[in-house]
Amino acid sequence: MKIDVQTHNAVAILSLQGEFTQETLKPFEDAVNTLLVDKKNEGLVLDMSKVVLLDSQTLEALLDLNDKCHDHLRQFKLAGLDETCRKILEITRLLGQFDSYPDLAEAVKSIA
């Protein structure tokens, strides 16, 4: 999986590309932890528009990240879920746990 980190104003954007599975979890967690220690970030948007697969380990990691963001008084948003990833979150009844937006611009704007 490819991970790209950007910042727009006070919003950290983590763009993921490829399969988001247990094998790719460590680099993701490292990137997230780096972003969470930066006090300037008011929120984190996870751009999922190029993610093609989620597994159970990554679903758990997303729930943990949601909790961490709230603990650090940061907003957390998902953006650009494709049909497959959205279905996975719906079937597992986790979609309602996250603020999700159809595209990255809307998610970033919701924090600003």
pLDDT in tens, 9-63: 889 999 999 999 999 999 999 999 888 887 788 899 999 999 999 999 999 999 9
Q: pLDDT over 70 for what percent of the chain?
A: 99
CB atoms within 10 A of CB 51: 23
Residue 105 clears pLDDT 90, i.e. is over it = yes
Q: Whole-prediction pTM value?
A: 0.90
Ordered structural domains, the chain, with CATH: 2-111 (3.30.750.24)
Q: pLDDT over 90 for what percent of the chain?
A: 76
Cβ-count burial of 53 within 10 angstroms (0-12 exposed, 13-18 middle, 19+ buried)? middle
* pLDDT in the model for residue 37: 83
Query: What angle (nearest 5°) sits at the alpha carbon of residue 55, between those of residues 70 and 74?
Result: 10
* pLDDT in the model for residue 9: 87
Residue 89 clears pLDDT 90, i.e. is over it = yes
d(Cα 8, Cα 6) in Å, to the nearest integer? 7
